[in-house]
Amino acid sequence: MSTDDSTNTAAFDGPQSTDITMNHKLKLAVAQSRTLSTTVDTLHALEETTRSAARSGVHLILFPEAYFGGYPRTCNFGVSVGARDPAGREQFLQYFHSAIDLGDTPVGAGDDWVDKKLPVAKDAKFRGDGTREELERVARETGVFIVTGLVEKAGGSLYCAAVYVCPQFGVIGKRRKVMPTGSERIVWAQGSPSSLRAVTTTINKVRLTLAAAICWENYMPLLRHSIYSQNVNLYLAPTADARDTWLPLMRTIGCESRAFVLSANQCVRKKNLPAWCRGNLSGQTEQLSSNGTDSGNRRSRRRSTITFTEDKHEICWPEVGNNTTQPERVQPPAENGIHPQRESLTIEEDPTSPSPTGRRRSIVTETAEHHHISWPAPKFNSRSSSSLSRRHTSSGGDEDFVSRGGSCIVSPFGDVLAGPLWEVEDGGLLTVEADFDDCERGRLDLDVAGSYSRNDAFKLTVEGLDLNPPP
């Protein structure tokens, strides 16, 4: 397997002819791999998966968001508004130690980091902890271009990032997530938008312009357009989102960008979460405010139960005879497609129902005093009904999935070429042979950053980022 860099130039001897019969196909892969207990273990798993992909003729492979360092699924790090739990600080300490050090600066040194121009300590062989060098070795030995998500520590902060590793030239680019989602903002800093710059390479005479948008960055229309503007033909979306809504988004991006879209997510059971995730740290110590005092008088609160409908509407009602404890959340809101349930979906006979079956759906919730409250469930189709039933039968045990995966590959026309891959663990691999001429075929009728963009009327600028296609 040969890999050539697009910056290589030959002596000019007149206009170069283009052979329209030239093969412009590459084999692409996404790895539904999960983070293991240590960085060394995860590196070994990545190497094994990449070597297996290479034997299948894969040219480029994508690994999930936060594959190195780990996605802090289920963690709250003991944080609430105005309060910090000391046990949560210990959890963050363990998470910080699990992150990798690539030798970059907090601001991001850009090309100086990529080209290894930053100073190295006198007693060190390289900057960082050696993970970068190991990734470069794996890419070099396998001939596979590797893109992987990771959690990077620089200074005293953590960044969610993705790194591009070329078999011939090593790391040719890295970007940091510009907008961590929801509770991710507790532990991840914001990356510079300048890192949204696409990178280029040539593999088997196929010219690639590729860029990554990480997880819910893909829901940011202007960020997506900043990538489209660079004329990418390979759009990468490492993610932690296992919701059913993720695949339609990937199909939309494929159609909008006229690029191939790769999306990789981890598939993880509760028992396989890293040790710092599984530790029952939340609520084990008294929450303290910033000045070290108790966070509030808990006895002044009344007990209530909060339930959530399928459409995430919240219903709150008081419980009778007990006003000394905090509210109990019977059903926490969904996060990345997972609904820890403590209520049940029942089917009750309703002789007045117009339905041929004479049945209606209701949600039954049990209070602390074992009273049952029943209220009608929202209407949903058979597909959502089966999905809801699957989630309600979850036992909450160690064998349950906290992320079901959903990795996929989409064409420049929005067609699903492979996946989504659900509930497949330990290195599930999707591969497709991609004809990159399809990207140009799609530009016949849609080029959202060119002929279809009305650049005379609509303009986008991004601080520190050149939106022109890279040379």
Provide the 10 A C-beta neighbour count for residue 236. Answer: 25
With tokens 């009778």, the residue in question is: 320
Residue 207 burial (CB count, 10 A) = 13
Distance of alpha carbon 39 from alpha carbon 458, whole angstroms: 45
Strand ranges of the sheet holding 288-289, from the earlier edge strand across to the other edge: 79-80, 83-84, 288-289
For residue 104, give the amino acid letter: D
Measured distance CA(222)–CA(461) in Å, rounded: 9
Tell me if 345 sits within 8 A of 377, measured CB to CB.
yes
- Per the CB < 8 A criterion, the answer to whether 174 and 163 are in contact is yes
CB 73 within 8 A of CB 276: no
DSSP-derived secondary structure letter, 252: H
Q: Which of 27, 153, 174, 177 is catalytic?
A: 177
Strand partners, 149: 162
Q: How far apart are CA 283 and CA 116, in angstroms?
A: 45
Structure tokens at 252: 């939309």
- Active-site residue identified among 47, 65, 184, 319: 65
For 10, residues 6+ apart whose C-beta sits below 8 A from its C-beta are: none
Residue 439 is among the residues annotated as catalytic for this protein: no
User: What are the DSSP calls for 385-407, one per residue?
Assistant: HHHHHHHHT---STTSEEEEEEE
Fill in the amino acid letter for 365.
T
Whole-number Å distance between alpha carbons of 216 and 197: 18
153 annotated active-site = no
Catalytic residue check, 215: yes
DSSP string, 49-116: HHHHHHHTT-SEEE--TTTBT---TT--TTEETTEE-HHHHHHHHHHHHHSB--S--SS--THHHHTT
Identify the active-site residue in 75, 160, 166, 215: 215
Closest CA to 52 of 170, 144, 162: 144
Which parts of 338-415 are beta strand (E)?
A: 344-349, 359-366, 372-376, 401-410
* 121's tokens: 């300590």
Residues taking part in catalysis:
65, 177, 215
